[in-house]
Structure 1
Amino acid sequence: MPATDFDSFVQQQQDNKENIKEFWGRERDQYIDYVNKVYGTIEEFLAPWTSTGSVTIEYHEQEIHEEDTGVYNVRKCIISIGNRFIALTPIGTQLIGTKGRIDISGAFGRSRLILVDKDATGIRVSVTHVDLNDPQSSKAEKPPEKEIDWTWKIVSNPPNMKFIEFNKENFLSKIMEISNG
């Protein structure tokens, strides 16, 4: 391989590296924004109890490391109700089938909030095989891409994992469930 071919290859990889870095930087920033917004919604859900001091919400910085986004900080949320603690722990954005995840844990259970397409009802995986040696295989028709309306949903427990609308009633019910309420 002549040096000029290798030079071109190296330059192409450097260009790709910068594009990927920019892409994942945007994804990281969007994820942090979505996390902060869901915390704002949770604060609204709990306002009747936080206003009286019977429920408290605290935030602590947490470091996340993801392969392409690198290390970044995001807030972890701790909800205190009497002697029960519920932790909302951001997991990250580089996940299959979702734009982000927050684990919810209490003394008696766990659950998850995931950031998915508003129209999604459950986890669905499809696999497409593309033979790189067959030019016709790589030309398979792809469905038209649609604009995704990202929204947080609660995930029911395995084995039949379904998405549950993230609203006040469902969230408070989930908190009681994982706190043995």
Structure 2
Amino acid sequence: MSRKSFEEFINAQPEEPAADAFNVAKELDEWLKALDKLYANVRSYLSPFKAQGKVAIEDGEVELHEEATGPYQAPKMSIRMGPHVVTLLPIGTFLIGAKGRVDMKGPRGTVRFVLVPKDSSAPRITVSIRRADDPATEPQQPPPVLEWDWKIATSPPHVRYQEINEDSFLDALLEIVNG
């Protein structure tokens, strides 16, 4: 009797629409393509200086390890300007508040580049708190992000995002090389 009752119960349940499964390989591929886009933009910003022989760009790889992916190889970039070396080092893609982060490290500091929704100007993190005796509610799902963009993140605690263009990139580069 219990098996039959259970089968009747299961068969009477409405079918739930299949949720989009989290695809680690797809996320990792998007992350690596976003890194390539960032580095292509950097090459473009520096191309006049590279043509003059005043800047050298070296590509390399770094091994990252994230919980969702395990170890993997990601591209990094080094920029040489006279005696100064600046490195663009990927941090990861499975982060809170961003789809990815790259740190640009120089002798006088670090600038953080974050991959965030194109229309964002600051982090958007929502926290819900409820007591055990509160009625259950459906968690609010954020709207899907249709377009991601690299931005410069200011220092905490009041993080803001700045668009990356040739001027903002060169200002950031000068800041970590020259102070």
What TM-score, normalized to structure 2? 0.81
Residue in 2 that maps onto 1:156: 154
Q: Return the index of the structure with the highest Cα Rg.
A: 2
Residue in 1 that maps onto 2:76: 76
Give the secondary-structure state (helix, strand or coil) at the position aligned to 2:103. strand
CA distance in structure 1 between the aligned counterparts of 2:145 and 2:122, rounded to whole angstroms: 19
Structure 1 pair 25–51 and aligned structure 2 pair: CA distance change class (3 A) = same
Shift of 1:137: 1.8
Deviations 1:80-102 (Å, cap 9, x if unpaired)? Answer: 11111111000110100100000
Please give the residue correspondences for 1:108-127 in structure 2 after superposition, counting only pairs within 5 Å: 108-127=108-127
CA distance in structure 2 between the aligned counterparts of 1:139 and 1:122, rounded to whole angstroms: 26
Deviations 1:33-57 (Å, cap 9, x if unpaired)? Answer: 1001110111001010111211010
Give the secondary-structure state (helix, strand or coil) at the position aligned to 1:90. strand
Question: What stretches of structure 2 of length at least 5 have no aligned partner?
Answer: 1-20
CA distance in structure 1 between the aligned counterparts of 2:159 and 2:76, rounded to whole angstroms: 24
Structure 1 pair 51–119 and aligned structure 2 pair: CA distance change class (3 A) = same
Query: What value does the CA root-mean-square deviation take over the aligned residues?
Result: 1.9
Count of matched residue positions in the alignment of Structure 1 and Structure 2: 159
Structure 1 pair 153–144 and aligned structure 2 pair: CA distance change class (3 A) = closer
Q: Percent identity?
A: 36
CA distance in structure 2 between the aligned counterparts of 1:112 and 1:44, rounded to whole angstroms: 19
CA distance in structure 2 between the aligned counterparts of 1:57 and 1:26, rounded to whole angstroms: 29
Residue in 2 that maps onto 1:14: none
Please give the residue correspondences for 1:1-181 in structure 2 after superposition, counting only pairs within 5 Å: 20=22, 23-129=23-129, 136-139=135-138, 142=140, 145-180=143-178
Question: What stretches of structure 1 of length at least 5 have no aligned partner?
Answer: 1-18
Shift of 1:159: 3.1
Is this contact kept in 2: 1:131–1:138, CA < 8 A? no
Is this contact kept in 1: 2:45–2:166, CA < 8 A? yes
Deviations 1:53-89 (Å, cap 9, x if unpaired)? Answer: 1101001111101011111111110001111111100
Structure 1 pair 109–33 and aligned structure 2 pair: CA distance change class (3 A) = same
What TM-score, normalized to structure 1? 0.81
CA distance in structure 1 between the aligned counterparts of 2:33 and 2:122, rounded to whole angstroms: 24
Give the secondary-structure state (helix, strand or coil) at the position aligned to 1:138. coil
Write the letter of the residue equivalent to 1:172.
Answer: L
